[in-house]
């Protein structure tokens, strides 16, 4: 690439002024194209470099959504969580949350499993309460035993029967691992990773104090609501059964 540019530069010096201008524009086009593809972040210039951003889109039926990857043992996630939840409630937009337990954290994976148990087996609202209370009590949980004792108290306080084993089939572990694999595929570098997205754009929010204004900006530029799949699609795919004519 450098040799080609050197050759072009030598010819550039010998060209008339109007030709020189055209050549300069042509040389700058590839670099302009690269910069136009750069991600958007709030604050500007603070975002990460992702390998795959295909998951940054709102669910069907939503114009804008917040996508978040979190670790229940992460202090920054604990700080961001109430702000994120208040924001999505204020703007009435969905939160697409993914678990991304970091390898250096002792109990975050187990906490994600218990949160998934409550989400799948009890109620999503109870799972949200569990996550919030884990974040609030984070500094008092120093081991897996501490987490187990905390979780037992949570079940008792909510009148729930705590199972002896949270995930005997491995289904919940597969859900958490699927989220982790998704984050690894996109090149996730830290938690929390928070993205506000529409069908047209996505903005990574690295400073949660700018979350509200970012949501408003994305909502202002968002297109129409993505239509949800019609419920009759599966029925329409079936071929009608021809009635036999009596002879």
Tens of pLDDT, residue by residue, the chain (247 residues): 444 344 434 433 343 444 443 334 333 333 333 333 335 888 898 889 999 999 999 999 999 999 999 999 999 999 999 999 999 999 999 999 999 999 999 999 999 999 999 999 999 999 999 999 999 999 999 999 999 999 999 999 999 999 999 999 999 999 999 999 999 999 998 999 999 999 999 999 999 999 999 999 999 999 676 554 444 333 333 334 444 444 4
The residue with tokens 């120093």 is 142
Q: What is the pLDDT of residue 245?
A: 43
Angstrom distance (rounded) from CA 20 to CA 56:
42
pLDDT of residue 231: 40
CB 64 within 8 A of CB 196: yes
Confidence at residue 43, expressed as pLDDT on a 0 to 100 scale:
87
169-199: string of b/e by CB count within 10 Å (b at 16+)? Answer: eeebeebbeebbebbeebebeebbbbbbbbe
Please state, in angstroms and rounded to a whole number, the distance separating the CA atoms of residues 30 and 8: 15
One of 3.40.50.300, 3.40.30.10, 3.90.1170.50, 3.40.120.10 is the CATH number of 64-221, namely: 3.40.30.10
* CA of residue 226 relative to chain centroid, distance: 18
Residues counted in the chain: 247
Neighbouring residues of 29: CB distance < 8 A, sequence distance ≥ 6: none
Q: Are 181 and 144 spatial neighbours (Cβ–Cβ below 8 Å)? A: no
Can you tell me whether residue 159 is helix, strand or coil?
coil
Instruction: Output the CA–CA distances (angstroms, integers) from residue 139 to 62, 71, 155, in the order listed.
Output: 36, 14, 20
SS3 content of the chain, % helix, strand, coil (to 5): 55, 10, 35
Torsion of CA 217, 180, 127, 88, to 10 degrees: 0
The answer to whether 19 and 26 have CB atoms below 8 angstroms apart is no
| CA 133, chain centre distance (Å) | 22
Q: Where are the domains of the chain?
A: 64-221
């Amino acid at each position: 690439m450098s040799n080609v540019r050197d050759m072009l530069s030598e010819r550039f010096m010998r060209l008339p002024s109007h030709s020189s201008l055209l050549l300069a524009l042509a040389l700058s086009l590839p670099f302009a194209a690269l910069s136009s593809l750069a991600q958007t972040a709030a604050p500007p210039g603070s975002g990460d470099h992702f390998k795959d951003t295909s998951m940054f889109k709102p669910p069907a039926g939503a114009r804008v959504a917040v996508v978040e990857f979190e670790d229940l043992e992460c202090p920054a996630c604990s700080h961001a969580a109430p702000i994120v939840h208040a924001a999505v409630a204020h703007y009435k937009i969905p939160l697409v949350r993914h678990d991304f337990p970091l390898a250096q954290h002792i109990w975050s994976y187990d906490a994600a499993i218990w949160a998934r148990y409550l989400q799948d087996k009890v109620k999503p609202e109870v799972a949200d309460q569990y996550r919030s209370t884990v974040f609030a009590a984070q500094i008092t949980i120093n081991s897996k035993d501490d987490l187990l004792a905390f979780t037992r108290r949570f079940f008792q306080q909510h009148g729930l029967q705590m199972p002896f084993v949270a995930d005997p089939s491995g289904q919940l572990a597969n859900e958490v691992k699927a989220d982790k694999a998704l984050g690894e595929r996109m090149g996730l570098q830290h938690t929390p990773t928070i993205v506000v997205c529409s069908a047209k754009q996505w903005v990574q929010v690295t400073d949660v104090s700018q979350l509200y204004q970012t949501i408003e900006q994305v909502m202002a530029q968002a297109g129409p609501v993505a239509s949800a799949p019609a419920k009759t699609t599966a029925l329409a795919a079936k071929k009608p059964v021809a009635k036999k004519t009596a002879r």
